[in-house]
Structure 1
Amino acid sequence: MVSCPQIKRVLGDYDAIHVRRGDKIKTRKDRYGVKRSLHPHLDRDTRAEFILHRVQKWVPSGRTLFIASNERTPGFFSPLSVRYKLAYSSNYSHILDPLIDNNYQLFMIERLILMGAKTFIKTFKEDDTDLSLTDDPKKNTKLWQIPVYTLGGKES
């Protein structure tokens, strides 16, 4: 596929993060009406201010940071631009649009771009050598816990 090498060439020397939010942040209320989540720290850990703090030890300031995410809020990651040059697959729509028919195809191209980064930070740690945004386990533990939010965001 022509698109990945083209995009990697334009990115040059870059780092990347995969930020899985939408589907993994879902909550449900228990029988007492208390919100619970399978990934209690994920909403907090994948917000821009927390990402900025977490990745600074792995990614030096001024680097290009490619972000692959299912977050739909425009500008959600903009606070990261104080330290990094941000790039998204949407920046390369002129290359991707003729090739992409569905989100699965986009995800596969983003995976290839993520894997080509100098430093790749996953949402969840899958093995001991992975860098990750959260310490919450990726596997479904079926243990619904009270979510931990940021102070300025939702209720604590």
Structure 2
Amino acid sequence: MASDNGLAALGVEGASAAAHALSLPAEAYGNDLISSVDPKFLKLTKLDDKIYSSFRETFKELDVKQLKEDDLKSDEAKERWRPFCNQFEGLVEDFNYGTLLRLDCEKDYSEENTIFATRVQFFAVEIARNREGYNDVVFTSKRSKS
């Protein structure tokens, strides 16, 4: 199984294809990056490991599969998110710029399924979804349709 042995389990052809896909700029995939590359191999930033470990240390219980608005916008949530986000100032470019984040990772972007979040919140949640296997649904469903 590829996830057990990493790229070695893919064989030469699979590893070459994965390496090629990962070497392309994100723009080459348009809005479909997450459905074009197996999320387990997708690296969103150079600080993915640091973002993920700090995120899970701070938000152990957060259900990244199905976020609720209060997970990001309640007064209590803002108090927890602020120090988390601020630690990446100067490390993650435009760390506090706004971006859209899917609430339910099994659904596409839509008005009902998005929330405004900071860039580092987006990275934290999507890195967690990739590593914890929640974005696999998007990848496999798009692959089965082609």
**Could you tell me the TM-score, scaled by structure 2's length?**
0.29
When you count helix as a share of all residues, which structure comes out higher?
2
Larger-Rg structure: 1
When you count strand as a share of all residues, which structure comes out higher?
1
**Could you tell me the TM-score, scaled by structure 1's length?**
0.28
